[in-house]
């Protein structure tokens, strides 16, 4: 029900929204909860386990009950707190975890069966017959569990991530936060003031506290105006600090567009990483409930929330209101409601010495022992000594005291400290380096106390920042003491809920203690207390008190409660903003990319790169046809391939040769200028790290190439070896991978093609290199081959890559050649027995690939010592071999090999296949693989079995070099 003249909503901006298909009206500034309450809708959800009717409990993000689905045009968002979601024109919300309707929910049968659904009952049953667990019991449990639902469709929403930096982050804008921000800002610090709600003020506006003689909201507006005017202040509303991380990093979720109708380019949320030199936690306190019998009905809510609804939204939740409290704060709520014309039927105060100053009935020393009303509260039963009183009421405001919002202080394993005075946990100082808690978050509850604490915290932070503090006198405000008497539970017949979200009652805690799940962690895990969407914000402390009582220990003896990030649940889409679709990883494109695409080449992922798979010609319908043609083309004429993805590291200095000798297994100091050598690089543990060719361009100048996959890894490795072991050597290196475009020209016609465009024809020997001029550009020519044919690689600065590629291809085509892609490249190298990371997969030694002789005996090198470990040598190791088979059925990589007649099982496996292809030139299937003692078994027939693709055939083990075994073609 809306109350005239109250609240901070904009009554000139009415909005229409829907809940469960019915239209309602609200105002801009309303939350969905306040608007529903204004329309007298009190039933908003069903509980998790027992499907009990539930209403709004709180007015903030800690809400356990009022979780709804927000329906968008394409998608729905489950588990949205109606107490946080602001209404806008056209908002559609739907209740969840009910069928068929909220009012008539079939699953409410669970409530009737609740005697059997005790804590952890599922651990004790559903075990027989065994097959029924997966077939029957579990599917039923899964369907009954869960709250809201996802649509199953891609989330097309827009989300962002951002960084922010500041001197001081103030978390919360109640009296402590505002005063801290004002003090720091006036002193010149860079301040970010983060407020979870849409407007500043926290409990100042919720309580309508008077500050400096002004109404709370007016004082907040003045403070906000002052902060807005300062360039060193950034106010972030609708922004929740969700996590505290190492070294001053805070995660924050900003609800950018969730309060507005969806429109293009409006992000829904933004996830911030805020780096702050100092932080002040001024997040206030959360009111806690009392576990009295049947305390979960719609209409039973927190007293402080009733005050929020009245002062912020001009809403009262009932016509005849009662309160049940153990402290004074409910009194203020009662006074304000009465002043607004609401009838307060009674205040039930558990304290025998409770003050009786209100203008309504106060039952001191009394407790609520029962409630009635199926879909809405109708009546409460009060026990006052021996007297039992029944009171008709539609709203019961409960206050069991206040818990400081210390959650962030637990995020780095800080443990809160029990305060007997407050009967609550308070933050332990220094739990988050650089952060202090102030105000209610630190257990200071009066408005004056909060203002003062905010100022003190700011002055402290300024001192740490080395900024001179400018302070002004504090405005006057209420400074009442926090008067309370702890009351956690009320005994009675009915169930008394602690965790409303997970339907955990005091009986569940007692049962857990009875079964000796008596450590607080066991209790939580066994009963699921504190695991619901509100993460036990309003119930963990009470549950601990109940457990302490059940086990006869004090609360500090029983344990403590802790909280893990995030403070409020954060959407995966916000945390993963930017990852959607192609955003997950950078895309690297070759200079020939467009030219390849122009020719219809499918571009495939190779690490972060895209490389052409093959270049289809008209009439070719499968990749194999194109691949076979390209292989023949290279073997018979000439082919062009872009090999720029290989890592290129330019190494210079008088110690360059010495350095290469150290990082390579073989020797490079003996390499003449103008020559190229194949190099094998080991990891320090003796296994193969990478291979490639390195050219000596000058006496003190080398150019190393790495495989595409290991380019970054090798660079990091070289940096480590240099800086850790030989920092004094005169050698420097830099990755030039991005600086050069490099193309392979391979085939019998390669030399004539190369000479057709060089200004001065090259006459390079095999493994030679020289600088060349290509169309007026300085380039480099290498006579190296990854195909087994006479081959060259020509490199030019990247900006000329595309032009050169197009030119090379055009020239090749006049000679019966053309471009070739990754598929053909792979066939060519398998035919030649050349390895890639399919073979050097990290578990392979130089010995395994027959290159152990390359490890120079004359020098130390990385990996040399470890390579002699017994496990890395010997006949039992699997050695690289070639495999071949005729016929139609193909060899497949990933298959295992077995000796003739052996059973197919792990114990008998002789090896496996790493690479396989159809060789169009040789007319058979070829492969590379590893076989135990393989080099001694050439000519042996083995059984190849691939269960995954149903292949079972006999292959012959052979030398891995199939094509041109003598290398005559390379040296031609």
**Binding positions for another protein, 261-280, rule CB under 8 A:** 271, 273, 275
Q: Per rule CB under 8 A, is residue 736 in the interface with another protein?
A: no
Residue at token pair 């005994």: 491
Residue 46: strand pairing partners: 53
- Residue 277 to residues 235, 247, 284, Cα–Cα distance (Å): 17, 8, 22
- The Cβ of residue 825 has, within 10 Å, a number of other Cβ atoms equal to 26
Residue 824 Cβ, how far from another protein at the closest point, in Å? Answer: 14
For residues 678 and 668, the answer to whether their CB atoms sit within 8 Å is no
CB 914 within 8 A of CB 929: yes
Q: Which is nearer to another protein, 222 or 519 (CB)?
A: 519
Q: Which of 5, 22, 142, 618 binds another protein (CB under 8 A)?
A: 142
Cα–Cα nearest to 445, from 582, 332, 542: 332
Rounded Cα distance between 728 and 840, Å, is: 32
By the rule CB under 8 A, 154 interacts with another protein: yes
Sites for another protein among residues 43-62 (CB under 8 A): 48
Closest to another protein by CB, 22 or 858: 858
d(C-alpha 171, C-alpha 237), whole Å: 11
Binder among 566, 616, 768, 779 for another protein (CB under 8 A) = 566
Give yes or no for a contact between 638 and 753, defined as CB atoms under 8 angstroms apart.
yes
Q: Which one, 372 or 869, has the nearer CB to another protein?
A: 869
> Is the Cβ of residue 145 or residue 356 nearer to another protein in the bound state?
145
Residues 96-125, one symbol each (x = binds another protein by CB under 8 A, - = not), give -------------------xx-x--xxxxx
Closer residue to another protein (CB): 597 or 837: 837
| CB neighbourhood size of 424 (10 A) | 23
Sequence-ordered alpha helix ranges (H) in 417-446: none
DSSP per residue, 655-715: THHHHHHHHBSS--TTPPTTBEEEEEEE-TTSBEEEEEEEEEEETTEEEEEE-TTTHHHHH
Of residues 841, 853, 941, 971, which one binds another protein by CB under 8 A?
A: 841
Whether residue 388 contacts residue 363, with contact meaning beta carbons closer than 8 Å, is answered with: no
Q: In the window 879-918, what residues touch another protein (CB under 8 A)?
A: 892-896, 904-906, 909, 912, 914-915
Output 195 or 690, the one with its CB closest to another protein.
690
Interface residues for another protein in 172-191 (CB under 8 A)? none
Contacts of 833 (CB under 8 A, 6+ apart): 882, 928, 959, 960, 961, 962, 963
Select from 318-326, 633-641, 717-725, 765-773 the region that touches another protein (CB under 8 A): 717-725
Q: Does 872 bind another protein (CB under 8 A)?
A: yes
Closest CA to 535 of 418, 416, 407: 407
| 534: Cα separation from own chain's centroid | 20
Collapsing DSSP states into helix, strand and coil, what is residue 635?
Answer: helix
- Sign of the C-alpha dihedral, residues 796, 797, 801, 807? negative
> Are residues 678 and 737 in contact, defined by beta-carbon separation less than 8 angstroms?
no
560 binds another protein (CB under 8 A): no
Interaction pattern, residues 306-325, with another protein; x per rule: CB under 8 A: --------------------
What character string, x for contact with another protein (CB under 8 A) and - otherwise, covers 599-618? -----xxx------------
**Closer CB to another protein, residue 367 or residue 914?**
914
Closest distance of CB 192 from another protein, Å: 17
Distant-in-sequence, close-in-space partners of 19: CB < 8 Å, separation ≥ 6: 32, 36, 41, 44, 68, 93, 94, 95
Residues 583-602 within binding reach of another protein (CB under 8 A): 583-585, 587
Complex with another protein: residue 46 or 969, whichever CB lies closer? 46
In the numeric block, the tokens 């695991």 are attached to: 531
Q: Name which of residues 953 to 972 contact another protein (CB under 8 A).
A: none
- Minimum separation from the CB atom of position 504 to another protein (A): 13
Judge contact between 11 and 35, C-beta under 8 A.
no
Chain positions 224 to 243 lying near another protein, rule: CB under 8 A, are 243
Residue of the chain from 5, 385, 618, 842 that contacts another protein (CB under 8 A): 842
Q: For residues 332 and 325, what is the distance between their CA atoms, to the nearest angstrom?
A: 12
* 3-state SS assignment for residue 107: helix
Joined tokens for residue 663: 């990082």
State the minimum distance, in angstroms, from the CB of residue 23 to another protein: 24
Q: H/E element holding 390? A: strand 387-392
Binding-site member from 4, 134, 699, 759 for another protein (CB under 8 A): 134
Q: How far is the CB of 623 from another protein (least distance, A)?
A: 11
Q: Which residue, among 949, 928, 839, 816, has the nearest Cα to 881 in the 3D structure?
A: 928
Q: How many residues does the chain have?
A: 972
Nearer residue to another protein within complex by CB, 158 or 458 = 158
State the binding string over 785-814 for another protein (x if CB under 8 A, else -).
------------------------------
Taken in order 335, 336, 341, 344, the sign of the CA dihedral is negative
CA pair distance 886, 927, nearest whole angstrom: 12
| Stretch binding another protein (CB under 8 A), from 35-43, 292-300, 571-579, 696-704 | 571-579
How many Å from the N-terminal Cα to the C-terminal Cα in the chain?
Answer: 95
Instruction: Decide if 249 contacts 408 (C-beta within 8 A).
Output: no
Contact positions with another protein (CB under 8 A) in 850-869:
860, 864-866, 869
What is the distance between the alpha carbons of residues 56 and 65, in angstroms, rounded to a whole number?
6
Number of residues in contact with another protein, rule: CB under 8 A?
A: 141
Q: Which of 335, 378, 522, 806 binds another protein (CB under 8 A)?
A: 522
The 401-430 site mask, x for binding another protein (CB under 8 A), equals ----------xxx-----------------
- Nearer of residues 104 and 121 to another protein, judged by Cβ: 121
Residue from 4, 5, 153, 493 binding another protein (CB under 8 A): 153
Spatial distance between the Cα atoms of 327 and 285, rounded to a whole number of angstroms: 14
Nearer residue to another protein within complex by CB, 920 or 927: 927
Q: Which residues, 482 to 521, sit near another protein by CB under 8 A? A: 507, 511, 514-517, 519, 521
Q: Which CB, 837 or 935, lies closer to another protein?
A: 837
Nearer to another protein, 392 or 521 (CB): 521
d(CA 102, CA 924): 69
With CB under 8 A as the contact rule, the residue among 5, 21, 152, 481 that binds another protein is: 152
d(CA 487, CA 351): 9
For residues 119 and 182, which CB has a smaller minimum distance to another protein in the complex? 119
**Out of 575, 673, 736, 953, the residue judged to bind another protein by CB under 8 A:** 575
- For another protein, which is the closer residue by CB, 799 or 869? 869
Asked whether 774 and 790 are in contact (CB, 8 A), the reply is no
Q: Does 528 bind another protein (CB under 8 A)?
A: yes
* Partner residues linked to 343 by β-bridges: 320
Least Å distance between CB 468 and another protein? 24
Shortest Cβ distance from residue 384 to another protein (Å)?
Answer: 28
- Contact pick of 89, 138, 420, 778 for another protein (by CB under 8 A): 138
Q: Do the beta carbons of residue 376 and residue 297 sit within 8 Å? A: yes
Query: In the range 328-367, which residues lie near another protein by CB under 8 A?
Result: none
Report d(CA 88, CA 257) in Å as an integer: 11
Binding mask 427-466 for another protein (x = CB under 8 A): ------x---------------------------------
Segment near another protein (CB under 8 A), from 444-452, 723-731, 758-766, 778-786?
723-731
Residues 653 to 712: which contact another protein by CB under 8 A? Answer: 683-687, 689, 712
């Amino acid at each position: 029900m809306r109350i005239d003249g109250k609240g901070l909503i904009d009554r000139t901006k009415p909005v229409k929204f829907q809940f469960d298909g019915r239209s309602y009206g609200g105002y801009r500034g309303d939350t969905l909860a306040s608007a529903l309450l204004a329309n007298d809708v009190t039933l908003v959800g069903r509980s998790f386990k027992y499907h009990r009717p539930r209403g709004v409990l709180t007015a903030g993000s800690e809400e356990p009950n009022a979780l709804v689905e927000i329906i968008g045009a394409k998608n729905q968002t489950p588990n949205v707190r109606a107490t946080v979601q602001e209404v806008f024109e056209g908002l559609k919300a739907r209740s969840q975890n009910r069928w068929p309707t909220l009012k008539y929910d079939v699953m409410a049968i669970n409530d009737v069966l609740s005697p059997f659904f005790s804590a952890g009952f599922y651990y004790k049953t559903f075990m027989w017959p065994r097959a029924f667990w997966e077939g029957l019991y579990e599917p039923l449990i899964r369907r009954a569990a869960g709250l809201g639902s996802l649509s199953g469709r891609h989330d097309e929403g827009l989300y962002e991530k951002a960084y922010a930096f500041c001197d001081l982050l103030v978390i919360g804008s109640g009296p402590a936060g505002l005063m801290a921000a004002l003090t720091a800002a006036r002193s010149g610090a860079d301040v970010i003031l983060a407020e979870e709600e849409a407007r500043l003020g926290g409990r100042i506006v919720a309580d309508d506290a008077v500050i400096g003689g002004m109404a709370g909201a007016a004082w907040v507006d003045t403070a906000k105006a002052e902060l807005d005017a300062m360039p060193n202040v950034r106010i972030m509303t609708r922004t929740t600090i969700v996590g505290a991380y190492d070294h001053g990093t805070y995660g924050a979720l900003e609800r950018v567009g969730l309060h507005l109708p969806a429109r293009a380019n409006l992000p829904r949320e933004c996830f911030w990483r805020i780096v702050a030199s100092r932080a002040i936690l001024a997040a206030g306190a959360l009111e806690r409930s009392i576990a009295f019998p049947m305390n979960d009905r719609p209409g039973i809510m927190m007293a402080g929330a009733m005050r929020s609804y009245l002062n912020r939204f001009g809403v009262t939740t009932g016509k005849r209101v009662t309160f049940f409290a153990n402290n004074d704060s409910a009194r203020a709520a009662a006074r304000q409601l009465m002043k607004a014309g609401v009838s307060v039927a009674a205040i039930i105060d558990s304290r025998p010495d409770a003050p009786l100053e209100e203008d309504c009935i106060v039952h001191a020393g009394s407790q609520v022992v029962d409630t009635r009303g199926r879909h809405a509260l109708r009546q409460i039963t009060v026990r006052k000594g021996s007297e039992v009183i029944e009171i008709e009421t539609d709203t019961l405001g409960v206050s069991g005291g206040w818990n400081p919002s210390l959650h962030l202080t637990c995020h780095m394993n800080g443990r809160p400290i029990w305060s007997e005075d407050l009967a609550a946990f308070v933050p332990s100082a220094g739990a988050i380096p650089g952060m202090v808690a102030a105000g209610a978050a630190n257990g200071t509850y009066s408005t004056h106390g909060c203002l003062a604490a905010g100022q003190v915290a700011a002055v402290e932070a300024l001192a740490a920042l080395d900024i001179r503090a400018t302070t002004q006198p504090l405005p006057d405000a209420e400074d009442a003491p926090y008067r309370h008497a702890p009351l956690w539970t009320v005994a009675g017949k009915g169930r008394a809920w602690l965790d409303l979200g997970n339907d955990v009652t005091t009986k569940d805690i007692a049962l857990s203690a009875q079964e000796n799940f008596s450590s607080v962690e066991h209790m939580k895990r066994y009963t699921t207390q504190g695991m619901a969407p509100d993460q036990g914000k309003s119930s963990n402390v009470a549950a601990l008190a109940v457990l302490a009582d059940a086990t006869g220990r004090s609360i500090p003896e029983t344990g403590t409660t802790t909280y893990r990030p995030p403070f409020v649940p954060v959407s995966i889409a916000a945390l993963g903003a930017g990852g959607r679709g192609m955003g997950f990883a950078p895309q690297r494109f070759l200079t020939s990319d467009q030219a390849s695409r122009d020719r219809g080449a499918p571009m495939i992922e190779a690490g972060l790169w895209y490389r052409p798979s093959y270049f289809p010609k008209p009439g070719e319908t499968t990749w194999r046809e194109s691949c076979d043609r390209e292989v023949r083309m290279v073997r018979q004429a000439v082919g062009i391939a872009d090999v720029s993805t290989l890592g290129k590291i330019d190494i210079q200095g008088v110690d360059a040769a010495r350095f290469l000798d150290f990082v390579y297994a073989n020797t490079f100091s003996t390499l003449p200028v103008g020559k190229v050598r194949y190099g094998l690089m080991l990891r320090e543990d003796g296994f193969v790290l990478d291979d490639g060719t390195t050219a000596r361009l000058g006496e003190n100048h080398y150019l190393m190439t790495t495989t595409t996959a290991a380019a970054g890894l090798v660079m990091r490795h070289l940096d480590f070896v240099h800086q850790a072991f030989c920092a004094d050597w005169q050698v420097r290196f830099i990755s030039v991978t991005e600086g050069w475009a490099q193309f392979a020209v391979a085939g019998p016609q390669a030399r004539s093609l190369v000479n057709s465009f060089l200004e001065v024809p090259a006459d390079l020997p095999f493994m030679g290199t020289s600088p060349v001029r290509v169309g007026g550009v300085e380039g480099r020519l290498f006579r190296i081959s990854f195909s087994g044919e006479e081959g060259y690689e020509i490199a030019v600065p990247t900006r000329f890559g595309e032009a050169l590629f197009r030119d090379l291809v055009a020239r090749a085509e006049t000679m019966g050649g053309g471009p070739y892609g990754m598929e053909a490249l792979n066939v060519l190298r398998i035919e030649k027995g050349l390895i890639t990371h399919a073979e050097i997969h990290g578990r392979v030694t130089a010995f395994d690939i027959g290159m152990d002789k390359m490890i120079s005996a004359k020098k130390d090198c990385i990996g040399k010592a470890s390579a002699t470990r017994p496990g890395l040598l010997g006949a039992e190791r699997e050695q690289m071999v070639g495999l071949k088979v005729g016929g139609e059925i193909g060899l497949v990589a990933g298959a295992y090999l077995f000796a003739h007649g052996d059973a197919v099982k792990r114990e008998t496996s002789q090896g496996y296949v790493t690479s396989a292809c159809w060789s169009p030139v040789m007319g058979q299937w070829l492969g590379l693989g590893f076989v135990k003692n393989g080099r001694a078994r050439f000519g042996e027939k083995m059984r190849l079995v691939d269960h995954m693709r149903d292949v079972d055939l006999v292959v012959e083990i052979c030398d891995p070099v199939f094509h041109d075994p003598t290398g005559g073609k390379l040296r031609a």
